[in-house]
Amino acid sequence: MDLQDRLTAARHRIQEACRRSGRNPEELRIIAITKYTTLEVTEQILQLGVSDIGESRWQDARTKWQTLGALGTWHFIGHLQTNKVKDVVGKFDYIHSLDRLSLAEEIEKKAAALQTAVNCFIQVNVSGEQTKQGVSPEGLFTFAEQIAGMEHLRIAGLMTMAPHEADPEATRPVFKRLRELRGELNARSVLKYEVTGLSMGMSNDFEVAVEEGATWLRLGSVLFGS
């Protein structure tokens, strides 16, 4: 299968998951995770109409962004060290890995200096795995309160990574919990505005994530091969 075929197949699977769960496919966007692909392949996926591009390290993203930056919307999905914030703010439209106060403070500072706002997803470690980043579900509300006054951060939603499961169905409780946490965050009015986004679902488990309400799917290997 070539890239076009794999994209068509993934879109079909998303549509089927939407149909099963009574969702409108227009509520969802695919972010093509290009971290393991070349500049040429990244250009191809843009040409195929996927305009959201995700990368997890600035070193790997740099050439792609410098060449293709204006053609898409850029998402930073990897763990972000505080000293790398300067590379990302002003270039990436979304940061999916906001997971600690020191990082929020640094993004706020850099965004203020550039007089821009940065869309951020708060990463939540729903599964509690030691190897995963993110605030704990219990710590989410305190964290959101701490950053609520930061005028250059716009909280676009919540993000999580489910454990890799042989049976994707096993990830469902993780995605369901993230959706419930979004509801609770809004019900408590921790932020001055409603938080709408759910960044969840990867190649192995995106259909389950769609069924549980994902609005942003982060797809790598299902599009580009492994």
Ligand X SMILES: *Cc1c(COP(=O)(O)O)cnc(C)c1O
Q: Which residues of the shown chain bind ligand X in the complex (CB under 6 A)?
A: 33, 35, 56, 77-78, 161, 202-204, 218-222
Q: Which is nearer to ligand X, 4 or 142 (CB)?
A: 4
Measured in degrees and rounded to the nearest 5, phi and psi for residue 149 equal: -85, 0
Q: Residues 143, 122: contact at Cβ < 8 Å?
A: yes
User: Min. distance of Cβ 222 from ligand X in angstroms?
Assistant: 6
CA-to-CA separations, 86 to 34, 81, 90, 104, 107, in angstroms, rounded? 21, 10, 8, 13, 8
Nearest distance from C-beta of residue 134 to ligand X, angstroms: 10
Helices and strands (H, E) in the chain, number of each type: 9, 8
- Nearest-approach distance from CB 64 to ligand X, in angstroms: 15
Judged by CB, which is closer to ligand X: 189, or 221? 221
Between the alpha carbon of residue 96 and those of residues 113, 122, 188, the distances in Å are 21, 7, 22
Tokens for 101?
């106060």
Residue with the CB atom nearest ligand X in the bound state: 220
Instruction: Report the relative pairing of strands 52-55 and 153-159 from DSSP bridges.
Output: unpaired
Of 152 and 203, nearer to ligand X (C-beta) is: 203
Cβ of residue 168: shortest distance to ligand X, in angstroms? Answer: 11
- Shortest spacing between CB 192 and ligand X, in angstroms: 28
C-beta of 115 vs 130, nearer to ligand X: 130
Q: How many CA atoms lie within 13 A of 80 on its CB side?
A: 32
Q: Which is nearer to ligand X, 111 or 217 (CB)?
A: 217
Q: How far is the CB of 218 from ligand X (least distance, A)?
A: 4
Nearer to ligand X, 51 or 186 (CB): 51
Q: Rounded to whole angstroms, how far apart are CA atoms 29 and 218? A: 9
Whichever of 80 and 153 has its CB closer to ligand X, that residue is: 80
Nearest distance, CB of residue 90 and ligand X, angstroms: 21
Rounded distance between C-alpha atoms, residue 70 and residue 107, angstroms = 22
Q: Which residue has the tokens 């060449």?
A: 67
Q: Which residues pair with 53 in a beta bridge?
A: 32, 74
